[in-house]
A and B are shown apart, each in its own frame.
Chain A
């Protein structure tokens, strides 16, 4: 038993490729648990950051600085009455959130958090990701139709039109990045997520800067299309509050509604991971080829620990600034304990064996976290598009540009 557990650790592939069912299951639990925690953290961060953008405080009551707010929300949603409208199509109404949840979680199977830290590595990795995440539009359409109500139907019609339109530009941008992987001696590209990052390592450049500005334009197109694809502001027309109350999930409540939210945030993390993998070098640390040598390796391997220590310091400042009133004593101790926990994690990450294994995951997560913050930033900054503007941007601006970039990449790749 123990032998079966440890024998994998020395091997150099993902558990899926090694055919190791046990470790594949362990990876699946780690990844899915991690994503669920990340969704909760994202939920808190979004409310806090949005509030500060708008000069409010945001959640402050549940736990110090509202840190326990996501847990309180989860309990509220789980205990809420689960309503199915009387004239709704019960079966479809029941299946729709499950489809969205499954589609947005299934893509995590191929996301590479490190050279061996993926559940599996498919030969058709990126195609699998795009295909499975395109299934989530089915869930949206089904939810809108099954509710048997006007707002959800209009919301889901808008949503399906929007998601299909932006999928085209998104796919073309992805293809131009995949083309870049074939610029090696053997001349064969790859669709595998791990292979794409390795190609960037071989060519010693992130695809973001490859054939400047072609790679950069493709990246920008993907970054715009992925916001539209996940129905987030400024492209959140399917759930535009001012016109459609809540769009396709107007009739949903309680647990089912929370499944929609979970699926939406999981999909956001998933598409951000695609962007990171294709253009930002996946798990590679910054400057892996120019800043080489043992010293630089050491400097970069200290980053994970330092990040957690910085977070602990922020919590420490929070403890000092907490009002001294006895009423706040529980909150102050709670925040101090949380800060200590972060500090301990930071110190653990400095230990050499942990440090070396955690690095890839840290850089990947840091890049994805940047995208997640951008999502919040967009939402606080941009006003919502009108529907005809949205369609015009998708078909008349993004699609021609991405076609041009694709042709340009192919031409430059052949000429060079």
Chain B
């Protein structure tokens, strides 16, 4: 069986992700931004698939594209769009923006140049059929503590949201 992860798919998904991410920040309409963001998230899911991580890709679709983005749209639709379109779209802090962009660019270039030493030359991809099982064993084995801390964090966030939403409990 030949692998489907051809360079064409990589470039296609990258262009899709980057292009729609660009649209997210440039389009004036908040709903269009959200829709472009969904496309970017789906492109990312495709990239995860290419990294032989189907479970992560599935979770990306079900949580981000199907769940969180719906809530985003839900909130945006309740906002008065006509007023928000008249407001200024970008804050004019060119200096900070340029500095951050340069720093990120330098980081990318450094990784690109020195990357060979940082990463292993090649790693054996986990068989697709046991990917989910291995992920589960890692999450409930070596990374148990981090996993549980993350769930505790989410619990705190839920309680915080309830406290903020309800005046009298």
A123: interface (CB < 8 Å): yes
Stretch from A130-138, A280-288, A349-357, A367-375 that touches the partner: A130-138
Instruction: Give every chain A residue within 8 A of B57 (Cβ-Cβ).
Output: 124
Q: Give the Cβ gap from B153 to chain A, nearest Cβ, in Å.
A: 19
Decide: A135 and B66 in contact? CB cutoff 8 A.
yes
Report which of A95, A130, A134, A160 forms a contact with B74, defined as CB distance below 8 A. A160
Given the known A-B contacts A89-B31, A127-B58, are A160 and B70 also in contact in the complex, defined by CB atoms under 8 Å? yes
Per-residue CB contact flags for chain B residues 98-123 toward chain A (1 = under 8 Å, else 0) read 00000000000000000000000000
Q: Give the Cβ gap from B107 to chain A, nearest Cβ, in Å.
A: 32
Decide: A124 and B55 in contact? CB cutoff 8 A.
yes
Instruction: Give every chain A residue within 8 A of B62 (Cβ-Cβ).
Output: 127, 130-131, 134
* Alpha-carbon distance between A141 and B78 when the two chains are bound, in angstroms: 12
A145: interface (CB < 8 Å): yes
Bin the interface of chain A by size. Answer: 20 to 34
* Alpha-carbon distance between A130 and B61 when the two chains are bound, in angstroms: 9
B24: interface (CB < 8 Å): no
Instruction: Give every chain B residue within 8 A of A132 (Cβ-Cβ).
Output: 61
Decide: B70 and A19 in contact? CB cutoff 8 A.
no
Decide: B38 and A191 in contact? CB cutoff 8 A.
no
Report which of B61, B65, B70, B130 forms a contact with A164, defined as CB distance below 8 A. B70
B77: interface (CB < 8 Å): yes
Residue in B35, B66, B78, B133 with the greatest tally of chain A CB atoms within 10 Å = B66
Decide: A137 and B70 in contact? CB cutoff 8 A.
yes
* Alpha-carbon distance between A124 and B69 when the two chains are bound, in angstroms: 22
Per-residue CB contact flags for chain A residues 88-124 toward chain B (1 = under 8 Å, else 0) read 0101100100000000000000000000000000111
Decide: B70 and A124 in contact? CB cutoff 8 A.
no
B80: interface (CB < 8 Å): no
Bin the interface of chain B by size. Answer: 20 to 34
Instruction: Give every chain A residue within 8 A of B50 (Cβ-Cβ).
Output: none
> Which positions 86-143 of chain B face chain A at CB distance < 8 Å?
128-133
Decide: A138 and B70 in contact? CB cutoff 8 A.
yes
* Alpha-carbon distance between A389 and B33 when the two chains are bound, in angstroms: 34
Instruction: Give every chain A residue within 8 A of B73 (Cβ-Cβ).
Output: 138, 141-142, 145, 160
Per-residue CB contact flags for chain A residues 179-219 toward chain B (1 = under 8 Å, else 0) read 00000000010010000000000000000000000000000
Residue of B nearest to A135 (CB): B66
A300: interface (CB < 8 Å): no
Residue of B nearest to A142 (CB): B35
A35: interface (CB < 8 Å): no
Q: Give the Cβ gap from A74 to chain B, nearest Cβ, in Å.
A: 30
Instruction: Give every chain B residue within 8 A of A131 (Cβ-Cβ).
Output: 58-59, 61-62, 65-66
Decide: B54 and A124 in contact? CB cutoff 8 A.
yes
Given the known A-B contacts A138-B65, A153-B77, are A128 and B35 also in contact in the complex, defined by CB atoms under 8 Å? no
Q: Give the Cβ gap from B83 to chain A, nearest Cβ, in Å.
A: 16
Given the known A-B contacts A141-B77, A145-B77, are A135 and B54 also in contact in the complex, defined by CB atoms under 8 Å? no
Per-residue CB contact flags for chain B residues 37-64 toward chain A (1 = under 8 Å, else 0) read 0100000000000000011011101100
> Which positions 218-273 of chain A face chain B at CB distance < 8 Å?
none
Residue of B nearest to A189 (CB): B133
Given the known A-B contacts A124-B132, A153-B77, are A19 and B1 also in contact in the complex, defined by CB atoms under 8 Å? yes
Decide: A164 and B55 in contact? CB cutoff 8 A.
no
Instruction: Give every chain B residue within 8 A of A142 (Cβ-Cβ).
Output: 31, 35, 73
Q: Give the Cβ gap from A126 to chain B, nearest Cβ, in Å.
A: 9
Instruction: Give every chain B residue within 8 A of A135 (Cβ-Cβ).
Output: 61, 65-66
Residue in A91, A134, A167 with the greatest tally of chain B CB atoms within 10 Å = A134
Residue in A132, A138, A188 with the greatest tally of chain B CB atoms within 10 Å = A138
Some 28 contacts from A to B, beta carbons below 8 A apart, are: A19-B2, A89-B29, A123-B55, A123-B128, A123-B130, A124-B55, A124-B132, A127-B59, A128-B58, A130-B62, A131-B58, A134-B62, A134-B65, A134-B66, A134-B67, A135-B61, A135-B66, A137-B70, A138-B69, A141-B73, A144-B77, A145-B77, A153-B77, A157-B74, A161-B74, A167-B66, A188-B133, A191-B132
Query: Closest 7 CB pairs between A and B?
Result: A134-B66, A131-B62, A131-B61, A127-B58, A19-B1, A124-B58, A124-B54
